[in-house]
Structure 1
Amino acid sequence: MEYLVRIIEILVWPGVALIALFVLRRPIADLIPMLQRLKYKNLELEFQRDLDKLREETRDARLKTTLPPSDESVVVDLDYYLQQVRESSPRNAVIEAWLGLESSAVSTATHFKLMPKRARVSASSALKALVTAGVLSDNDMRIINELRFLRNKAVHELSAIISEYEAAKFLEIARDVTDIIAGEAWQKYGGCSG
């Protein structure tokens, strides 16, 4: 009898764990892509979001966009600045790139008078106005929302580790989205406001 009790004691926790895994398999599977790092005792696994896939999607959309004329020296200076920030602090580079994307959305929406009169000007209201005006597609907004998720991770998760590689990919994607915003608005409205 003691032998049977001992076997049951040994099998109870693994059995509970297996049942929990079976019941929670879908929610756990949905969380895995969002994990940055998983550490258990001596086992440490890192999960990188599929930034390369997102990068390719953005690059394809960017190549279909005609950019408005711009001062190339400003672009080079901004790229240099973001590269320096990325090398010293990948987290801050993500934040700076996001702020640039938001600034582009706000300035484009206000320049082309896409915001409702007396509307509070914010990045989210500017992005909504750009979608409503047909400047941004649903796919563009999906990419922006994925970037927002990563930016939120950089800002709010103090333990989040953002590699230089991830920051570089984020910067490239944010730059392409910024170009898409400006280029699509330029194409749709012919470079003149209102």
Structure 2
Amino acid sequence: MDNFVEILNALAWPATVIWLGYMFRAELRLLLGRLTRVKHGSTEFGFGEGLKEAEVLAQKTPIDHVPPKRDIDHEEILLRIAEVSPRAAVVEAWTLIENAAVKKGLVKGTVMPKVFIKDILEHLQQSGKFSPQSIDLILKLKQMRNHATHMPDFAITQDEAERYLRLAAKSAEVIMLS
């Protein structure tokens, strides 16, 4: 009987926590949706901090070219998407970089062409025209896009999405100029 009481005492707190989590699951989801920083083990990531790092890299990436006028202003469309869903805007902004790579012929496969970030980076390095910062910028943007895509409880603000969009557009220009 004493062993049974000890087991009940040991399970009381975990059972209470699980029960409270179940009772307040809707509120917990809302709370988790507000996360702006994620930490797992020794890895910690905040979307805003990643943007600051990417913006520093972008300032060191010179672009002497004014982009030609486009029929459809993709950036304006992405800004509108950011008003409704900042996460969707970040994911969609990455396509600016992929589309630039496709236009430059940096694809593999004939039936279903695919863009690999490794090919983009190798192309920029081999051209010799671009600084290591431009390559680091594209890597940073990819990492941030991955966090936005694969971390469902990770929150991104509209401002952060708009800043990401400008950096993705600048990176696409870098690829087009190579």
Q: Give the SS at the match of 1:143.
A: helix
Identity within the alignment, %: 24
Counterparts of 2:92 and 2:107, CA distance in 1: 24
Q: What is residue 9 of structure 1 aligned with on the other side? A: none
| TM, length-normalised to structure 2 | 0.63
Unaligned runs of 5+ in 1: 1-26, 37-47, 186-194
8 Å CA contact 1:86, 1:93 repeated in 2? yes
Q: Does 1:49 align with 2:49?
A: yes
1:82 aligns with 2:94: no
Partner of 1:150: 144
User: Alpha-carbon deviation of 1:115?
Assistant: 7.3
Determine the C-alpha separation between the residues in 1 that align with 2:164 and 2:67.
Answer: 24
Distance, in Å, in 2 between the alignment partners of 1:137 and 1:179 is 14
The CA deviation string for residues 145-188 of structure 1, in whole angstroms up to 9 with x for no partner, is 111111001111111111112111111111111122223x2xxx
Q: Which structure has the higher relative contact order (CA within 8 Å, separation 6+)?
A: 2
**Residue type at the aligned position of 2:102:** V
Instruction: Mark the CA change 1:69 to 1:85 in structure 2 (over 3 Å): closer, same or farther.
Output: closer
Structure 2 Cα separation of the partners of residues 115 and 131 of structure 1: 16
**Aligned match for 1:31, one of 15, 36, 43:** 43
Q: 1:50, CA displacement in angstroms?
A: 4.5
Relative to structure 1, the CA distance from residue 135 to residue 96 in structure 2 (aligned partners, 3 Å threshold; closer, same or farther) is farther
TM-score of the pair, normalised by structure 1: 0.59
Distance (whole Å) between structure 1 residues aligned to residue 175 and residue 46 of structure 2: 30
Which of residues 149, 169, 173 is equivalent to 1:175?
169
Q: Note if contact 2:51-2:163 (Cα within 8 Å) is conserved in structure 1.
A: yes
CA distance in 1, matches of 2:148, 2:52: 18
1:57 positional shift: 3.0
1:96 matched to 2:89? The reply is no
How many pairs are equivalent?
136
What 5-or-longer segments of structure 2 have no aligned partner?
1-39
Give the secondary structure class of the aligned counterpart of 1:80: helix
Conservation of the 8 A alpha-carbon contact between 2:57 and 2:133: no
